[in-house]
Structures are given as C-alpha cells and as structure tokens.
Amino acid sequence: MSTYIDTMHPERHAPYDDIPRDVRDFLNYLGAILNRSPRTVNAYYIDLRLFFKFLLRERGAVPADSAFDDIDIRGIDTATIASVTQADIYEYLYFLKNERENEPAARARKLTSIKSFYRFMTVKSNRLSEDPAKDISIPSLKKALPKYLSLEESIDLLKNIQSDFYERDYCILTLFLNCGMRLSELVAIDLKDFQEDTIRIVGKGNKERLVYLNAACLDALKHYRTARAALGNLQEPQALFVSRRTGKRLSARRVQQIVERCLQAAGLSGKGYSPHKLRHTAATLMYRHGNVDMLELKEILGHAHVSTTEIYTHINTDKLRKAAKSTPLSKISYIEPERPEATSEEAAEDQGQND
C-alpha cells in the first residue's frame, strides 16, 4: 500500500499505485490546480481509498471477511464509480459510525471527501452526468470550546522542561505559546524564513503569512541557534529544528513526543493538552490579555475566515463577567417579600395546626 506523503519531505509523495485512475486524477487536481497542501491531499487519498474498499466488500466483489488492507481497488473503473448511489453512501456513513466508531467530525470529513470527488467527476472533468452525493447534507457539528493552558500553567510548562536538548525544546514551546502556529508549520520552518523580527510561515493551502516575534521568542531563538551551531555536521542544515542525534529535521511526531514529555514534567499530562492546544493557548492569551481583536487574531493564526477565529470570543471570561456586572440591576440585593399580617381567622387556623 503506497503512502502519499513523505513526512521528512512534505513536498514529495509516492506514486498513486493502489487507487483507481479517476481518484488519482482527482488528487492531482487538488494538488496541482487547487494548490492544496500535501497533508490535505493525503487526507482525501485515505478517505476515498477506504470508501471504495468498503464498496467492493459491500457489493460482494471480495469475501465479506476480507481485511481492508488486503482489498485491491485498482480495477475500479469509471462505470463502477458511476454506479454508486445515494443509498451506498448512506450505508457507508452507517458503517463509519457503527463498525469504525467514527465521531461525527470524522464522518463529516469523509463525506466531504466523497462530495468533492463526485463534484470533480461531474462538474470539473465531465466524466459523469449524475452526482450521488450532491443532495446528502453534511450535518452541522457542535462547536466545542477550545482547550487551553492558563497563564500559570504556561509558565509552569516553560519552567519544568526536562530534555537532553534543552535550548531546542524550550524554543519549540516558546514559539507555540507565543505565536500560535500549527504543528505542521513549526516543523517546516527553515533558517531562510527569518527576517529581522518575523518568520515567514506557510500554512494551510500553501498560504504564506508573516508571524512577528516578541522578545521571548527572539531570546529563545538566540540561545537555540547558539546550541544548534555547536552540533557540527547537519544532514539538513536548512531546517530550523533538527535532531541532535541525526542532524535531520524533526518530524511532527517527534515534536508531539517532546511536548508530551514536557507536559508530563510540568505535571500537566492527562489533561488533553497537545501541540494544537498550545496554539489555542497562544490565541487565548493574546485575546484575553493583549486586547487583540478578531481581525488581528485571524491574521496571526492564519485562519481563512474570521468565523473560525470567533470561537475565542467565548472564552474571555473576564469580559463576560464584566458584561454581567454592567447591567444597572446587578447591584440590587435580594428583596424580602412583603408579608401581610395574618387575619384572626388565619391565625386561629395556624394555631389549630400547631396544636
């Protein structure tokens, strides 16, 4: 089974030799025409590969007990793709929920892959006349509030780093907590991306943005670069974050492990924190303590739409608390009810109950 993305060289991929030609053409369209990132294209590749393997199993083209890794979908032609019905897609979504136990967000993403593929087949390449996925709605998803470290937890994390390459790992955490960059953005940084107090970041959809560095980031980078220069012969000298042992660029998984180890050392493990939660932390601290507005935060985080950034408006508890106190009724204390004096008849009745 081919693997689309090369984690050490994200711009490269293996040949699409285990999928139908139509799917291969669609992935090439995503990468070459729509300029989607390799990781995005890889997600479509995995989703569509699973869908067509399910289709062959569901239609009895392979034994019912076949492992998905063993199902060969290379022979699926355009006619088979055209034969897919709305019912097939609903059956697949049911399978994802009950057999694969996919959460709603994962099912929605996989449905999006199918819808995008059939739109390509019908609208962009005119290979099909009917789109079975067109009228299937993607369910609205509940927006969860982002999980983030408090200011105190962030400081504890930086104060409790245990590492055999302290300067590098301190710099990684400092950039995460101050700049709000994604994990994939951090591992892709090259030395040439720096200019004075900025880093050029390549985000989702290969969109570039400048991230400004504060004093803490510049100081951490200064110490790390000094330690990095002492490593000697580097296998990938252009990469900012490298392995002390191999001299190669750190992979995303390795950075995840570094963050996990540092969280554990700070007593913050088991709370659901991750590199992506550090990104949320940076955004939250900027919004709550730095008076950064939504449009500014959108540019810093590299969001395509401000609606994505607006989730951070729900976590500024200080502003919500101040708003609740701002109403003129907020200072009115509990008012005791006026109790009329009991009539002689009511008093006699009460007396009878007491007796």
Q: Which of 236, 259, 256 is nearest to 246 (CA)?
A: 236
- The count of residues in the chain is 355
pLDDT for position 232: 82
The 10 Å Cβ neighbour count of residue 223 is 15
Tell me the pLDDT tens digit for each residue of 201-255: 887 766 777 788 888 989 999 999 999 999 988 999 999 999 999 999 999 999 9
Among all chains, which residue has been given the structure tokens 């540092």?
A: 262
Give yes or no: 312 in active site: yes
Identify the active-site residue in 107, 182, 277, 288.
182
pLDDT at 355 over 60: no
Residue 199, SS3 per DSSP: strand
Q: Name residues whose C-beta falls within 8 Å of residue 265's C-beta, 6 or more positions apart in sequence.
A: 160, 161, 162
- Candidate list 36, 277, 279, 280, residue with the active-site label: 279
Q: Which residue has the higher pLDDT, 321 or 31?
A: 31
182 in active site = yes
Instruction: Find the mean pLDDT for residues 253-267.
Output: 91
Q: Does the active-site annotation cover 303?
A: yes
Q: Which of 39, 100, 119, 204 is catalytic?
A: 204
> Is the model's pLDDT at 311 over the cut of 80?
no
State residue 346's pLDDT score.
52
147-171 confidence digits (pLDDT tens): 778 888 888 989 988 889 999 999 9
Inform me whether the pLDDT recorded for 55 exceeds 90. Answer: yes
Residue 64: its pLDDT value, please? Answer: 86
Q: What angle do CA 48, 50, 52 make, to 5 degrees?
A: 70
Give me the DSSP letters along 69-100: GG---TT--HHHHHT--HHHHHHHHHHHHHTS
pLDDT digit string, tens, across residues 328-343: 545 655 556 666 665 5
Identify whether the C-beta of residue 137 lies closer than 8 Å to the C-beta of residue 226: no
pLDDT (0 to 100) of residue 1: 39
User: What does the DSSP assignment read for 157-168?
Assistant: HHHT---TTHHH
Residue of 191, 179, 172 lying closest to 240 (CA atoms): 191
The answer to whether residues 47 and 111 touch, using CB atoms and an 8 Å cutoff, is no
pLDDT value of residue 345: 56
Does residue 97 carry a catalytic annotation? no
Residues near 177 by beta carbon (within 8 Å), at least 6 away in sequence: 149, 154, 157, 158, 278, 281, 282, 285
Predicted local distance difference test score (pLDDT) of residue 309: 45
Q: Residue 41's closest CA among 75, 69, 5? A: 5
Helix (H, G, I), strand (E, B) or coil at 211: strand
Q: What is the pLDDT of residue 324?
A: 53
pLDDT exceeds cutoff 90 at 307: no
Lowest mean pLDDT segment, chosen from 82-86, 211-215, 344-348: 344-348
Q: Which two tokens stand for residue 275?
A: 């590199």
Which tokens is 112 given?
């999006």
- Residue 200 pLDDT class (50, 70, 90 cuts): confident
**Amino acid code (one letter) for 108:** A
> What share of the chain in percent tops pLDDT 90?
43
Mean pLDDT along residues 96-123: 93
- Inter-residue contact 172 to 221 (CB < 8 Å): no
pLDDT at 249: 94
Strand partners, 194: 199
Name the token pair of 241. Answer: 């974050």
More confident site: 233 or 139: 233
pLDDT score of 25 more than 80: yes
pLDDT score at 7: 44
If phi over 0 gives left and psi between -120 and 50 gives alpha, with beta otherwise, what is residue 55? alpha
Q: Which residue has better confidence, 321 or 126?
A: 126
Q: List, in order, residues 6 or more apart from 327 with CB less than 8 Å away.
A: none
